[in-house]
Amino acid sequence: MATDVQVPALGESITEATLGEWLKQPGDAVGRDEPIASLETDKVAVEVPSPVAGTLDEQMVAVGDTIEVGAIIARIAEGAGGKKAAPKEAAAPPPPPAAPADSAAQPLTLSPAVRRAVLEHGLDPSKIAGTGKDGRLTKDDVLAAAKAQKAEAHAPSMERAEPAPSAPAAAAPGERREERVRMTRLRQTIASRLKEAQNTAALLTTFNDVDMTEVMEARKKYKELFEKKHGIRLGFMGFFVKAACLALRDVPSVNAQIDGDEIVYHDYVDVSVAVSAPNGLVVPVIRSADQMSFAEIELAIADFGKRAKDGTLSMDEMRGGTFTVSNGGVFGSLLSTPIINPPQSAVLGMHRIEQRPVVLPDGSIAARPMMYLALSYDHRLIDGREAVTALVRMKEALEDPMRLLIDL
């Protein structure tokens, strides 16, 4: 008896997805609720579980196909009645150990990023131990294998082992190569939304800089006690989210949005936090951040970061949001003009901290840990005075964190 596997409901307003990867191949045994395929939606990757235990009998769609909710993508033969993998001939020679990653004989399913890394480093993916789900290769696995191979090649040895069979030939000097990789649905959505923001909103960015001395002193003084009590490290984002909440309360238009010919004001602050994921940037939402403690904010951000890397964030967790905080400083950015996340009207861009000479109130000059802040906003709704006022409120709260505690 065969059971159809259908595309599950993917969330409100999402009607289709792209098949990103088959996790099981025809003939493979599968357990009930075991993932057999990964779908890419506009926001996250979603795994499709098998509704029954049995054997994957047939794949109905190919990787890269766009499929609608409810469509049949595979059939599972219950019990042992599924299609079996073809038996190997006793005298059949093993496949070449260094077959290219995209060879038709290669049984591994590699993501575009992993395939690119394999080709760049000339590695045999079948000889790399995968640490991903169900033993799948990740880009980090490939990079670690390349690093180990390089270290081994440079290590002194009295007796050198016979060289391994050659990997796919590297590009000859002067040779120019190209590779075309289909954009993921997530990347297409990011591109579309960013362009939509530029085409629709009247974008403007205002800048300021903040002396991070007091925040850094507070973290240094309390980090051990904070971690001991709450089980999480006291980071910078908690300070910035709290400072943003304080500023948005004083300047509510920065926390509002345009809906047709109306302005929607919110009496809560749902902060979208930009998090780097393997397939692009995602923005999970900290609900009612204005009502949360430092520890609750830090725990939420740490959880989002981990699950973004694992690909387990849900679409509901990325829906909504009234204001965004994006930290380009973790990648070394000194200054940028972030683009708002529609229908939101503003986004705060954080940047790297660096020692710069600063003139102090007494006229002396000292080196201080400074960070540039950028607030991009929709000028249709937010006037320059309001944007600058909100950014100054954040600067004041960060330079004197006591304001965050006594609600100033």
Catalytic residues: 379, 383
CA angle 64, 67, 69 (to 5 degrees): 145
Find tokens 């974008």 and name the residue. 203
Beta-ladder partners of 323: 271
Spell out the residues 6+ positions from residue 335 whose beta carbon is closer than 8 angstroms to its own. 207, 351, 372, 374
Q: Are strands 66-68 and 16-22 parallel, antiparallel or unpaired?
A: antiparallel
- Locate 299 and state its tokens: 């725990």
Give the relative orientation of helices 237-250 and 384-399 as an angle to the nearest 10 degrees. Answer: 140
Question: Between the CA of residue 300 and those of 220, 235, 281, 292, what are the distances in Å?
Answer: 21, 12, 17, 10
Contact 370, 358 (CB under 8 A): yes
Find tokens 């503003």 and name the residue. 346
Spell out the residues 6+ positions from residue 77 whose beta carbon is closer than 8 angstroms to its own. 1, 2, 54, 55, 56, 57, 83
Question: Is the bond into 343 cis (omega within 30 degrees of 0)?
Answer: yes
Spell out the residues 6+ positions from residue 195 whose beta carbon is closer than 8 angstroms to its own. none
Considering only CA atoms, which of 200, 186, 184, 188 is closest in space to residue 339?
200
Question: Between the CA of residue 375 and those of 332, 336, 372, 407, what are the distances in Å?
Answer: 18, 10, 10, 22
Contact 398, 240 (CB under 8 A): yes
